[in-house]
């Protein structure tokens, strides 16, 4: 993963720095809010049972320590550090001394917990696209590889828009999404407003260049109003080829090499 994907999480093993916040170690997590604010925090009605307490925004989550320690390299490294001396006890052991996770929204953390602790719920049916994106975001940030794979599998069914697929693949380093989505965008009839918003102008400019250069390449130049690849097809005597639109020509063309040339290493 790149540093951008880890966001608030970075691991400097040489300095034994906690991957849960930067800079500093677990100690810096407790400095975000004064003690008075911690007393105002509310317990999450869905995730407050056992055995380690996190605070995200003004919400306390008490959940099993096991998946954080076993499935996340980021948390595993943080938990391996010696506990800090505190009059309130070990960090994460009580409501007044929780492990505070900065830079995270409570709803995002709740989405991650629903994947880590599905219980009797069918999360494939109960979680929305936005919730899966939140789970993917935190799983990528904190190295929950199994959650990442699950979220990517679910989002592959929930995100049909090719522009959004490209955006998500870039942000969360999803392998195998970018090239097929770009190919569809080049071959579809038009680029929609949502595509333009998701892709950004630099990508759109490359796509337009590919679309325009391929659309008319090797097409017939005669003035018969049927200037398409249909001219090269064998037709019975006395008949003329049916009209074929530029969009049909584009869809019939393999544009993989053009896409790879334009976008290069980003696809791999």
Per-residue model confidence as pLDDT tens digits over 46-59: 999 988 999 999 99
Whether 184 and 154 map to the same domain: the answer is no
Token output for 59: 């919400």
DSSP 8-state code for residue 48: E
* Strand, coil or helix: 71: helix
User: Residue 111 burial (CB < 10 Å; 0-12/13-18/19+)?
Assistant: buried
Whether 59 and 134 map to the same domain: the answer is yes
264 Rama class: left (phi>0) / alpha (psi -120 to 50) / beta: left
Whether 188 and 140 map to the same domain: the answer is no
* Structural domain of 263: 174-267
Is residue 199 scored above 50 in pLDDT?
yes
CATH number of the domain that 80 lies in? 3.30.710.10
User: In sequence order, what are the beta bridge partners of 63?
Assistant: 52
Q: β-strands 42-48, 59-63: how paired?
A: parallel
Is residue 228 scored above 60 in pLDDT?
no
If we measure between CA atoms, which residue out of 94, 9, 106 comes closest to residue 57?
A: 106
The C-alpha atoms of residue 96 and residue 45 are separated, in whole angstroms, by 18
Whether 92 and 178 map to the same domain: the answer is no
pLDDT of the residue at 216: 54
Token output for 160: 């049909």
Is residue 237 scored above 80 in pLDDT?
no
If we measure between CA atoms, which residue out of 27, 5, 6 comes closest to residue 18?
A: 27
Is residue 178 scored above 90 in pLDDT?
yes
Taking only the tens place, the pLDDT of each residue in 21-35 is 443 444 444 444 444
Query: Average pLDDT, stretch 54-65?
Result: 96
Q: Where a domain ends, among 124, 158, 192? A: 158
pLDDT of the residue at 210: 87
Is residue 72 scored above 80 in pLDDT?
yes
User: 19 and 3 in contact (C-beta within 8 Å)?
Assistant: no
- Residue 235: pLDDT band (50, 70, 90) is low
Domain count for the chain, please give it: 2
User: 143 and 72 in contact (C-beta within 8 Å)?
Assistant: yes
Taking only the tens place, the pLDDT of each residue in 113-122 is 999 999 867 7
Is residue 240 scored above 80 in pLDDT?
no
Q: Rg for the chain (alpha carbons), in Å?
A: 26
Query: Average pLDDT, stretch 248-259?
Result: 76
Whether 153 and 262 map to the same domain: the answer is no
The C-alpha atoms of residue 102 and residue 96 are separated, in whole angstroms, by 16
Whether 44 and 105 map to the same domain: the answer is yes
pLDDT of the residue at 48: 95
Whether 116 and 221 map to the same domain: the answer is no
User: 169 and 99 in contact (C-beta within 8 Å)?
Assistant: no
User: 156 and 126 in contact (C-beta within 8 Å)?
Assistant: no
């Amino acid at each position: 993963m790149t540093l951008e994907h880890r966001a608030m999480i970075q691991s400097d093993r040489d300095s034994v720095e906690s991957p849960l916040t930067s800079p500093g170690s677990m100690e810096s997590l407790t400095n975000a809010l004064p003690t008075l604010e911690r007393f105002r925090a509310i317990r999450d009605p869905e995730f407050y049972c056992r055995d380690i307490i996190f605070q995200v925004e003004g919400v306390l989550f008490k959940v099993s320590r096991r998946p954080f320690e076993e499935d996340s390299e980021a948390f595993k490294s943080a938990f391996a550090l010696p506990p800090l001396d505190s009059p309130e006890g070990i960090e994460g052991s009580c409501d007044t001394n929780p492990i505070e996770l900065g830079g995270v929204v409570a709803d995002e953390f709740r989405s991650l917990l629903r994947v880590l602790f599905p219980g009797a719920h069918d999360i494939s049916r109960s979680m929305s696209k936005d919730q899966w994106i939140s789970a993917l975001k935190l799983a990528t940030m904190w190295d929950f590889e199994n959650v990442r794979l699950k979220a990517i599998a679910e989002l592959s069914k929930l995100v049909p828009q090719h522009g959004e697929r490209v955006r998500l693949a870039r942000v969360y380093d999803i392998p195998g999404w970018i090239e097929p989505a770009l190919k569809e965008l080049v071959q579809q009839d038009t680029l929609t407003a949502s595509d333009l918003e998701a892709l950004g102008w630099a990508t759109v400019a490359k796509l337009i260049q590919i679309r325009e250069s391929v659309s008319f390449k090797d097409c017939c130049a005669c003035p018969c109003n049927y200037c398409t690849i249909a001219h090269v097809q064998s037709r019975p005597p006395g008949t003329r080829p049916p009209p074929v639109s530029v969009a049909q020509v584009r869809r019939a063309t393999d544009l993989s090499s053009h896409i790879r040339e334009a976008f290069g290493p980003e696809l791999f």
